[in-house]
Amino acid sequence: KQEVTQIPAALSVPEGENLVLNCSFTDSAIYNLQWFRQDPGKGLTSLLLIQSSQREQTSGRLNASLDKSSGRSTLYIAASQPGDSATYLCAVQSWEGGSEKLVFGKGMKLTVNP
């Protein structure tokens, strides 16, 4: 059974720091991995999607890498800003229980202090 873990559950940093968010998964047979952002009381916003054949994806100040063999992904946020404060979720799409499913980690709550 696929399990996705994000450690730590929360992180508080001063503005301007470069951040690395970690995600690990137990089954390397994945179709893709996605990073999402969730603001309080709102839905999820897709940040980056990495296909299983790719190693990384970049968007603005965000860079996500994928190492399938070790079951790890990292989301790098450069020069963090207070507006980056949110919960960040990692999810893998894989074959689970006879069908494709998106399996989520429990998220990491990021607070960037001005």
Residues that bind another protein (CB under 8 A): 31-32, 34, 36, 41-46, 49, 51, 89, 91, 93, 97, 99-107
The CA distance from 92 to 90, in Å, is 7
The CA distance from 24 to 38, in Å, is 19
Give the shortest CB-17-to-another protein separation in angstroms: 26
> Dihedral, CA atoms, 24, 26, 27, 33, nearest 10 degrees?
-20
Residue 75 vs 80, nearer CB to another protein: 75
Residue 14 vs 95, nearer CB to another protein: 95
